[in-house]
Each structure stands twice: as C-alpha cells, then as structure tokens.
Amino acid sequence: MKAIEVRALTKRFGDFTAVNAINFEVAQGEIFGFLGANGAGKTTAMKMLIGLSRPTSGEATVAGFDVYRQTEQIKRNIGYMSQKFSLYEDLTVWENIRFFGGIYGLSAAKIRKKAVALFERLSLHQEANALVGSLPLGWKQKLSFSLAILHDPKIVFLDEPTGGVDPITRRQFWDMIYEAADRGITVFVTTHYMDEAEYCNRVSIMVDGRIDALDTPKSLKNHFRVETMDDVFLRLARNSQFKEA
C-alpha cells in the first residue's frame, strides 16, 4: 500500500482553482519534498491531505484512509508540524509531552517510556522541567518534531520546519528526518531551502495549482540540464501565470 495516493485532486474557492487536478503517490518510508512558490497551492493541498479541508473533486487516500469520509482516522495516523511553532510555551517540556501523548491516546506508561527516549535523543534531561518558551528556537523545533511523531504515525507532515533556524540545527533537524524515515515513517515536507530539496528521495514542484515536475532531485537536474535544485525551481516557477494575483 502507498502511504499517500492522490488522483485528480482539486480545490476551488469560488472561481479560483487553488489546486488543479494533481496526481502523485508517496511510498511508505519515503521522504517526499513538496515544493512550490508562495501561493502555488501547497498549503491548500496539504490541508486536504491531513483532513482539514474537503476537496472539491478528485480522490486521495492517506495511510489508506479516504480524505472525504475518513478524516478522523487520518488524523489518528499522521503527525503534523506546522510552520508556526505550536507547542505550549507556558508548559514545561515534560508537560507538553504528557499533553500530546494524552491527545493521541497513549497510556501513561507508554508516555513515560517515550519521554525517556526523547530526553535521551535530544539530550534534554536538564530541561525536562523548563518552560518550553525558554528554550532556544532550534531545540523547540526539534522537540516539536519529536512530539509530532510521538505516537509513531505512519506519515508525518512537516510545513517549513526549518525556517529561520541556524545552519547546524537545520542539519541536525534533517538527521532526525532521516532517522524517522529509516524507522519506516513516511515524511512529507515543504521547504524554501533548495539545498533541503536535495535531501528528499523525490520532490514535486507546484506551479499555479498544478504539479509541473515530480522526480528525484538528480533526474530533475538532469532533465533541466542545471546544476542545482535552485535552478530547477527558478526555471519552473518563472512559468507562473498568476503569480501575483
């Protein structure tokens, strides 16, 4: 079974077509980069996949569940990290873990076990009782990701997870993404850093609501005869018809 299957998925707002009949599949354990200019339709497409927005037409399944009829099952089987930092700043690290573990229905024993492993992995022992608001941004992002996969979801959706973090933390964050993928978690990620596009197994590039390119970074660079993903992106996004509309 594919982790994500999308057929002719479309979303219209009035006479504006935000997502225009897109097709793609994501394999289990794949790191899939979902790229596009601002306003190309990425967020709208992602919202449909995580069960927050009903498609106008087309079909899609996420972790085997239908995006029209099984949105609750989808939410139980995925993790989501939004670009805005979304942990509770006024709760401690430990309280955040308990809160998110509880939301996902994990038992107290399981939450404790997960917490120990998480403190270990992030070297956060000292900070277990620190307010999340007092942590440096890089740690917050890593904690946020760890909580998004606390319940071992089949798929995790990451919306610009590394915006504004320092170059070392950014790479540590990608180490965590690789580790998660290694454990079989499918990763669906958006980013504006084109070097990060290179770290994905495959990337799609949205332009004006369509997916104009979808392949491995290497094949895309070969196809467009350019050296970097930055150049691939510029080549495609310049074709946009209604970029500033």
Partner 1 sequence: MIRVNQVSKRYGAIEALRQVSFEVNPGEIFGLIGPDGAGKTTLFRILTTLLLPDEGTARVNGRDVVANYKALRAEIGYMPGRFSLYQDLTIAENLAFFATIFGTTIEANYENIRPIYEQLAPFKDRRAGKLSGGMKQKLALCCALIHSPEVLFLDEPTTGVDPVSRKEFWDILAMLKQKGMTILVSTPYMDEATRCNRVGLIQNGELLQIDTPAGIVSRFDQPLWAVTSDEMYRLIQDLRTHPTIKTAYAFGDTVHITVKHSFYPEDLFADLGAKNHQNIEIFPITPTIEDCFIGLMETQKTP
Q: Assess 169 for contact with partner 1 (CB under 8 A).
A: yes
Helices (runs of H) and strands (runs of E) counted in the chain: 9, 10
Residue 182 sits in the site that holds partner 1 (CB under 8 A): yes
Distance CA 245, CA 241 (A): 9
Strand partners, 66: 61
Rounded CA separation 196/79 (Å): 20
Task: Work out whether 228 is an interface residue with partner 1 (CB under 8 A).
Answer: yes
Of residues 128, 180, 170, the one with CA closest to residue 150: 180
Least distance in angstroms from the C-beta of 102 to partner 1: 29
To the nearest whole angstrom, how small is the minimum distance from the Cβ of residue 137 to partner 1? Answer: 5
According to the binding rule CB under 8 A, does residue 237 interact with partner 1? yes
Per CB under 8 A, contacts with partner 1 among 41-80 are: none
What's the rounded Cα separation, in Å, for the pair 197 and 35? 8
Q: Which of 38, 123, 126, 129 binds partner 1 (CB under 8 A)?
A: 38
Q: Is 203 helix (H, G, I), strand (E, B) or coil?
A: strand
Report the interface residues with partner 1, using CB under 8 A: 36-40, 83, 136-138, 160, 163-169, 171, 174-175, 178, 182, 192-195, 198-199, 217-218, 228-230, 233-234, 237-238, 240, 243-245
